[in-house]
Structure 1
Amino acid sequence: MSSFQSTSIILFLFFATQALAVPHYSTDTSPNIEWRTCKENDPPNLQCGQIKVPINHEDPHGGHFNLGFARLKSNSMSTIGNLIYNPGGPGGAGSAEVFAQAFLNVSIWTLELLAHYDIIGLDPRGTGLSNAMKCDPDIWNRRVSGTPKNKDEFKKLVAYNKAFGESCRNLTGPVFDFMDTESAAKDMDLVRKALGEEKLTFYGQSYGSQLGSTYAGLFPKNVGRMVLDGVMDSSQSSVAQVAMESNNGYETTLNKFFQWCNTTAECALNGQDIAGIFDKMIATAESSPIPAPGCAPEGDKACRSDATSEEILAQVQIGLLGFSASSVFLGWPALSGAIAQAAQGNATLLSRPIKNTSSHADFSFLGVGCKDWIAASKSYIDLVLIRQMTGILSPHSRGNSQFYEIQSSCIGWPSPPTNNPHTLDPKKVAQLPPILLVNSFWDPSTPISSANALKTKIPNSVLILRNGSGHTSYLTFGKTTEAIDAFFVKGILPAQGTTFAY
């Protein structure tokens, strides 16, 4: 049985499609894109391409690597141009979603959008078709706590982070040291030029919003229509990011999940004290890992034979990414069932997956994260203080968050951060066209507070909201999706603060 890691909107499509296409390229150094089939028997409107980009943009005449992407061509005669897409992560590959739409009939974009744009699923450096980060999965699979209880456990964590990072550097090559978002944004501008586009049309989900805002800060005059869905504010300090996500994101959404469970028959624990059941289950796992008898050590659905409280909390946050209403993704009903099983002593559905390959989106997640955010936690005491602070603010989720994972996983990382949190230059922001920001009310990873923070830094941006739960909004295919399509296709912006029911 699979774990909730596969329920992530970002990771679900990434894992589901990686075996579908492994294009082979020549070593042509032409700056032009050479389009070709990704593999035999591809749909006629699916193509793969690549361009060569500098490993280090500060040394453009130094080493280069192939930046890859997939294109889903529009079948319409009314095509406007190219829309570059990033699914988030960090670590997600845009090509995976293009493959999913082409091969699996998974709806990623509406017919309206597909009729007007060629979709470019761009794989940022270190992901997918773009020199994907490779690491030693055996090191990854070792169990080391990210919440050390003493200095000896802290030393083990630092040693583990260093060993895993060194394995990634050795297997990935020089791109490992240049996986920061600013470098990825500069890559994206080279793709824009290669596509022959005067302006960039871009849709970024989750971390893709950080890629988009970074691009906007670097190349404001090159921005066309840009939508950032599930908004991150990269100007926040590392500690502020941890606090904002754990409290305003995870804890707030978890409380909404409890409320939903008490009022919805779809919940496996409907009519029961789910908050109390959840807290007791976490306390049990903290005392001793809960068995996961349905897990196997190998195969596509491999997971650990038991689950710690730390691992369960991470998987629950991923489960909350799904929409509360039934959808193509496992959502809240399935999460409630997983919690109910774990409370009865079977944590199979919430066990941490085992990695059996050297390339994985989770590896790239750290490759980017450790280059973008300074680990404010340098010592055991630092981690303890952050966890105590966030634990007080977030009693059910206990301060767990993806940003805390970055904090704890990047201590000892062999490549220092280069794209540290910083605000956008007001002079460059003044040159930007309107940007559409989108956020749901209850998003466990990118809370509304983050969207509001970015809005204040881009005054002519328009923020619209979805009165619902789940991470990002386009895939709800409701009124929010229609508003996004209207902006991309016709340039129509909703009124500031417009709230949609779905």
Structure 2
Amino acid sequence: MRRTITAVLGAGLLCVTAAPPAAAQEGLSWRDCGDGLQCGRITVPADWAAPGGERIELGLARLPARDPAAKKGTLLLNMGGPAQQISVLRQTKALIADLTQWFDVVVSDPRGFEASTAVVCPDPLPVPGKTGWVLPDRAAYDAFTALNRRFGAGCAKAAGPLADKLNSWQVAGDMEAIRVALGEPKLNYFGNSYGTVVGRAYAERFPHRVGRMYLDSVIDQTNPSWESWLLPRARTKERNLHRFAEWCATDKSCALNGRNVLKVWDEVMARAAKRPIPAPGAGPGAAADASLIASRVSVSYEPSWPKLATSLAEAHAGDATQFAKYPDVVPDPALSRIVMCADLPSPTAHDKVMSLEKRLRSVAPRIGWTHAWPRAVQCSGLPEATTIPPREDELRLPPALIVSGEYDDAAPPADARRIATQLRGARFVPVKGGHALYLYGHPCVREHVHRYLSTGKLPAEGTTCGPA
């Protein structure tokens, strides 16, 4: 699963991590920048393995504590992605406003993104729109790989000093520089989704600087086995299809209420595998084969269930337009693909992906098997990335709070449990819910998070959270 860093850089690693990063030469000052935020900048090395080399800027934003005299310090927040943070915070302040009762909440655009020294890739982000992420054959896979190779090469050229320096190991150094610039003796941290990857990297590099750490919807970047990383995702997605069927059986608003939903699913997929189902509303000659339908199903997001039921009912009746239409979603920023594939390098050889699909089909035959494809497709053809494998041994740091949703196939509980065993004293709280539990307002989760971050008190061992 993991490509390792060169011996030369590995040999220099001990020297780099022995001393904390220096703060910005000019210090950190804040200025009002609209929407109730204050913004600032610091400079850091482009490469933490060569701290005397070229420097880049990090853009920061702060949502100040309600009562500066009563605040308990600063909380560094990463809402996930990998993606810009400041512009997202402007739109989602209400989701984290409760935290300003105790903290200045600080975010930073990661290296390469928006307000920080940015990397603008010259070629458009390749997205397999007409075929979906499950590419139907080797020719389609090779064609997409060629597009992705050109995209990755262009990004690398545009990155300049940041080429091959966009990964969680480097971002952990940036986080330590932010702590120093803020003047905080310890880093209090809230990482959501991909933010858990950089949080785990920081805990490994700077365990003695960790304060209170909350990790939500954990993605495990330490697992050396791609198969064991994918299996929990496949099983969770498969269970969610069954949950969808159970909902449909009890909710009269479901377009398939009163029918055997799993049988309808099987019949639609079998028919589409033999001959693509016409999709007249998606353009002349449009149709949807089984691969495209599997790619377009968002079965793990409950608000999408009514539309999915309608789409399946229409496809069963012979019109797959809703599956053939390009989904109305905004893809992650182009640079996210470069970062994620550096931190979680997937096998990309077509034969290997087919082998993984076969293995996943053995445990998740209806829909979970699709997890074999998206990451492999996204990473295919990208430049070889320098990757420092995280240690899998126990890290000694103050007890962390970790939560994960039972229905989350992007960051399943198996990942959270594994990371919890690596952070000594961590408390894992399983939740009946999906992804980004705090940010989506799960009341039980928010109650435990507020108590932990404000007082340091963890939930009792064995604590769980039911449905929101």
| TM bracket, shorter-chain basis | 0.7 to 0.9
Task: Please state how far the C-alpha of 1:416 moved relative to its aligned partner.
Answer: 2.1
State the alpha-carbon separation in 1 of the partners of residues 121 and 289 from structure 2.
24
Which residue of the partner structure matches residue 423 of structure 1? Answer: 391
Matches within 5 A, 1:102-181: 102=93, 107-111=94-98, 113-136=99-122, 138=124, 140-141=126-127, 147=134, 150-181=137-168
Q: Could you list the per-position Cα deviations for residues 25-49 of structure 1 after superposition, in whole angstroms to 9, with x for gaps in the alignment?
A: xxx97352232233xxx24x31122
Amino acid at match of 1:414: P
Task: Please state how far the C-alpha of 1:488 moved relative to its aligned partner.
Answer: 0.8
2:399 is aligned with 1:434: yes
In structure 2, list runs of 5 or more residues that go unmatched: 1-22
2:215 is aligned with 1:228: yes
* Structure 1 residues 457 and 496, CA gap change in structure 2 (3 angstroms): same
Task: Please state how far the C-alpha of 1:79 moved relative to its aligned partner.
Answer: 1.4
Alignment match of 1:384 (pick from 319, 334, 354)? 354
Which residue of the partner structure matches residue 465 of structure 1? Answer: 430
Matches within 5 A, 1:199-278: 199-237=186-224, 239-240=226-227, 242-278=229-265
Which residue of the partner structure matches residue 369 of structure 2? Answer: 399
Amino acid at match of 2:146: A
Q: Could you list the per-position Cα deviations for residues 70-112 of structure 1 after superposition, in whole angstroms to 9, with x for gaps in the alignment?
A: 21112224211211111122x233223320145xxxx31253x
Whether the 8 Å contact between 2:405 and 2:430 is mirrored in structure 1 is yes
Alignment match of 1:51 (pick from 25, 42, 52)? 42
Which residue of the partner structure matches residue 8 of structure 2? Answer: none
Alignment match of 1:368 (pick from 324, 339, 347)? 339
Secondary structure, aligned partner of 2:107: strand
Which residue of the partner structure matches residue 175 of structure 2? Answer: 188
State the alpha-carbon separation in 2 of the partners of residues 150 and 168 from structure 1.
27
Alignment match of 1:445 (pick from 405, 410, 432)? 410
* Structure 1 residues 376 and 489, CA gap change in structure 2 (3 angstroms): same
Whether the 8 Å contact between 1:246 and 1:394 is mirrored in structure 2 is no
* Structure 1 residues 247 and 146, CA gap change in structure 2 (3 angstroms): closer
2:460 is aligned with 1:495: yes
Alignment match of 1:64 (pick from 38, 55, 77)? 55
Q: Could you list the per-position Cα deviations for residues 274-325 of structure 1 after superposition, in whole angstroms to 9, with x for gaps in the alignment?
A: 2233344445555437648479xxxxxxxxx8766545544434x62x4x4x
State the alpha-carbon separation in 1 of the partners of residues 163 and 309 from structure 2.
38
Whether the 8 Å contact between 1:68 and 1:129 is mirrored in structure 2 is yes
More deviation, 464-473/282-291: 282-291
* Structure 1 residues 441 and 241, CA gap change in structure 2 (3 angstroms): same
* Structure 1 residues 349 and 490, CA gap change in structure 2 (3 angstroms): farther
Secondary structure, aligned partner of 1:67: strand
State the alpha-carbon separation in 1 of the partners of residues 278 and 385 from structure 2.
36
Matches within 5 A, 1:82-93: 82-89=74-81, 91-93=82-84
Greater Rg over alpha carbons, structure: 2
Matches within 5 A, 1:94-109: 94-102=85-93, 107-109=94-96
* Structure 1 residues 467 and 64, CA gap change in structure 2 (3 angstroms): same
Matches within 5 A, 1:22-41: 30-38=25-33
Task: Please state how far the C-alpha of 1:59 moved relative to its aligned partner.
Answer: 1.2
Whether the 8 Å contact between 2:233 and 2:411 is mirrored in structure 1 is no
Whether the 8 Å contact between 2:74 and 2:103 is mirrored in structure 1 is yes
Whether the 8 Å contact between 1:252 and 1:444 is mirrored in structure 2 is no
State the alpha-carbon separation in 1 of the partners of residues 134 and 364 from structure 2.
15
Which residue of the partner structure matches residue 16 of structure 2? Answer: none
Which residue of the partner structure matches residue 11 of structure 1? Answer: none
TM-score, normalised to structure 2's length? 0.83
Number of equivalenced pairs: 438
* Structure 1 residues 498 and 172, CA gap change in structure 2 (3 angstroms): same
* Structure 1 residues 96 and 337, CA gap change in structure 2 (3 angstroms): farther
Amino acid at match of 1:115: Q
State the alpha-carbon separation in 2 of the partners of residues 340 and 46 from structure 1.
47
Amino acid at match of 1:485: H
* Structure 1 residues 151 and 462, CA gap change in structure 2 (3 angstroms): same
Q: Could you list the per-position Cα deviations for residues 164-191 of structure 1 after superposition, in whole angstroms to 9, with x for gaps in the alignment?
A: 2112223443324211111111111111
Amino acid at match of 2:337: L
* Structure 1 residues 351 and 463, CA gap change in structure 2 (3 angstroms): same
State the alpha-carbon separation in 1 of the partners of residues 278 and 87 from structure 2.
34
* Structure 1 residues 293 and 57, CA gap change in structure 2 (3 angstroms): farther
Whether the 8 Å contact between 2:64 and 2:105 is mirrored in structure 1 is yes
Whether the 8 Å contact between 1:278 and 1:339 is mirrored in structure 2 is yes
Which residue of the partner structure matches residue 316 of structure 1? Answer: 297
* Structure 1 residues 342 and 483, CA gap change in structure 2 (3 angstroms): farther
Amino acid at match of 1:463: F
Whether the 8 Å contact between 1:123 and 1:129 is mirrored in structure 2 is yes
Task: Please state how far the C-alpha of 1:478 moved relative to its aligned partner.
Answer: 0.9
Whether the 8 Å contact between 2:136 and 2:291 is mirrored in structure 1 is no
2:404 is aligned with 1:409: no
TM-score, normalised to structure 1's length? 0.78
Whether the 8 Å contact between 1:205 and 1:231 is mirrored in structure 2 is yes
Percent of residue pairs bearing the same amino acid type: 26
Secondary structure, aligned partner of 2:95: coil
Secondary structure, aligned partner of 1:69: strand
Q: Could you list the per-position Cα deviations for residues 121-158 of structure 1 after superposition, in whole angstroms to 9, with x for gaps in the alignment?
A: 22222334234443355462565775555544443233
Which residue of the partner structure matches residue 276 of structure 2? Answer: 288
